[in-house]
Amino acid sequence: MDILINNGVLNEKQALLTLLIGNIIGVTMIYLKHSIGTYVALFGKFGLKLAMINYTISIIIKILLIMLIILLL
């Protein structure tokens, strides 16, 4: 990412947004591969609800960060 910023391909705002969007994709993959199964194994059907609540809160926070970056930078 540093090379892209230094060469003028991306500015700091674009770099932060790209990293946050990539993080959303990564978190989604982790939840699909690991977290949902773990929550269900530990808590049964209630675990699925817990996993979805946890995932939703995580994504909402990242979306709020993206909007904050868009507004401030």
Say if residue 42 is exposed, middle or buried (CB neighbours under 10 Å; 0-12, 13-18, 19+).
exposed
Question: What is the number of domains present in the chain?
Answer: 1
pTM value? 0.76
Are 13 and 69 in contact by the 8 Å Cβ rule? The answer is yes
When the pLDDT of each residue in the chain is averaged and rounded to a whole number, the result is 89
Report pLDDT for 40.
Answer: 92
- Range(s) of the domain holding residue 34: 2-72
Report pLDDT for 15.
Answer: 87
Model confidence band, residue 16 (pLDDT cutoffs 50, 70, 90)? confident
Ranges 8-12, 51-55, 56-60: which has the least confidence: 8-12
